[in-house]
Amino acid sequence: MDWRQIYQERLTTADEAVKHIKSGDRVVVTHATGESTLLSDALVRNAAAYKNVEIVHMVAMGKAEYCLPQYSENFRHNSLFIGGTTRQAVADGRGDFTPVFFSEIPDLFRTKLHPNVVLLNLSKPDEHGYCSFGVSVDYTKPVAEIADIVIAQINKNMPRTLGDSFIHVSKLDYIIEEDTPLIELQPPHIGDVERAIGENVASLVKDGDCLQLGIGAIPDAVLGFLKDKKDLGIHSEMFSDGVVDLVRAGVINNSKKNIHRGQSVATFLMGTRKLYDYVDNNPEVAMMPVDYVNDPRVICQNDNLVSINSCVQVDLMGQVVSDSVGLKQISGVGGQVDFVRGANMSKGGRTIMAMPSTAAKGTVSKVVAFIDEGAAVTTSRYDVNYVVTEYGIAELKGKTLRDRARALIEIAHPNFRAPLIEEFEKRFKTTY
């Protein structure tokens, strides 16, 4: 049958489509900016029809109303990476967090968390009947291949990204044609602290490096300080508007990459319309599933892979906490460890943790003698090469415990150095 006929036959409305979800089902929502807010809204409107529907979502950038207390009988959220809209539900016990490396999420769905339903947000079909997953290929494409029911919004605002990023119309069970705006992430505010961190990180980046940029304000801010570099490449789970500026300025050209030469590789995108228009139908960008992009065995095939991520706390041994504040789960590991592993395996590769020296409006130090009780180490002390704050760069690789502690104290905020020095002298039985 011609795909156009299939398409017409499967057209329905969002409210009709979500009626096919049953109580007890596991529903997977597209990651981050790829979420179909049209379908999420319909799901929540239909809440009274469900009992205990499990909503599995990675970063929820929409309203995540399924997390609200009034829907606790209808939905239970299982987060693979907590964000601002889901944090409270997990903290209150109305939702759960499942620790998992981003690279392993597709396999988790294949082996442990079978998806009954997936809610997609896709580009218009091309002349062969293929729609693109656009800004979110990550776990979304692998899940769409195995879910019992595939519900898809077809949206002209979803860019047609290239790479391993397509699904045929015949694989969609229910189709809703509606052009809603995509979720956007505005560029971060760059203050003096971010500027100093950006400059410090940029000093560690060499011409020809291949970059991974993590989630959060700091990795994004770093991009603004790379304007004088040459021949940079991108192999990153995500990127944002800052990459577009550097491509247009000729700084990023991917010319030195060993794999995907000439292309920026990512698995999801977070930015504004400027980014979404840039990636539309653009062969300079390859979007692939996360079990490929974030596989350390793939990452390390590019030489000089530099991973730039952010964190919450670093202790004097160099243990990095990135996804919890004490017992409170604030985010997830995402691709941090995938890329730290890949960068360490890459010839000439380097791992950088960049963070402001303080948090909570300057009231707490991020360099600490001991990580908070209940916090979980995200990246081990064996894996971190550099820690960067606005006060400088601590190189940890190859340093003794004593020397790495000293290097970390040097980049702590001056207001918090005294207790760290006291702990240093007690621990190492030597003067600082």
Q: Which is nearer to ligand COA, 142 or 332 (CB)?
A: 332
Least separation in angstroms between CB 330 and ligand COA? 5
Q: Tell me which residues are annotated as active site.
A: 237
Q: Which residues lie near ligand COA (CB under 6 A)?
A: 214-218, 237, 309-313, 322-323, 325, 330-331, 333-336, 359-360, 364, 366
Q: Which is nearer to ligand COA, 102 or 133 (CB)?
A: 102
Least separation in angstroms between CB 342 and ligand COA? 12
141 three-class SS: helix
Q: Which is nearer to ligand COA, 68 or 325 (CB)?
A: 325
- Rounded distance, CA 327 to CA 65, Å? 24
- The phi, psi pair for 162, rounded to 5°, reads -105, 175
Q: Which is nearer to ligand COA, 187 or 334 (CB)?
A: 334
Which residues lie below 8 Å from residue 2, measured CB to CB, with a gap of 6+?
A: none
- Rounded distance, CA 302 to CA 347, Å? 8
Least separation in angstroms between CB 2 and ligand COA? 41
Q: Which is nearer to ligand COA, 254 or 331 (CB)?
A: 331
Measured between its terminal Cα atoms, the distance across the chain in Å is 77
Q: Which is nearer to ligand COA, 39 or 371 (CB)?
A: 371
Q: Rounded to whole angstroms, what are the CA distances from 200 to 235, 320, 356?
A: 21, 19, 12
Least separation in angstroms between CB 432 and ligand COA? 23
Chain centre distance of CA 95? 20
- Helix H or strand E encompassing 26: strand 26-29
Residues 423, 425, 430: CA angle, nearest 5 degrees: 160
Which class for 37: exposed (0-12), middle (13-18), buried (19 or more C-beta within 10 A)? middle
Least separation in angstroms between CB 367 and ligand COA? 9
Here the tokens at position 39 are: 């379908």
Residues 85, 87, 91: CA angle, nearest 5 degrees: 145
Q: Per-residue DSSP letters for 260-304?
A: STT-EEESEE---HHHHHHHTT-TTEEE--HHHHT-HHHHTTSTT
Q: Which is nearer to ligand COA, 11 or 108 (CB)?
A: 108
Burial 317-345 (b: 16+ CB within 10 A, else e): bbbbbbbbbeeebbbbbbbbbbbbbbbbe
Pairing of strands 320-321, 313-315: antiparallel
Q: Which is nearer to ligand COA, 139 or 166 (CB)?
A: 139
Pairing of strands 95-97, 130-132: unpaired
Least separation in angstroms between CB 171 and ligand COA? 28
User: Which amino acid belongs to residue 15?
Assistant: D
- Rounded distance, CA 394 to CA 168, Å? 49
- Rounded distance, CA 358 to CA 243, Å? 27
- Rounded distance, CA 141 to CA 166, Å? 8
105: closest CA among 332, 417, 271, 265? 332
Count how many residues are written for the chain.
Answer: 432
139: closest CA among 169, 110, 168? 110
Least separation in angstroms between CB 68 and ligand COA? 19
Q: Which is nearer to ligand COA, 366 or 404 (CB)?
A: 366
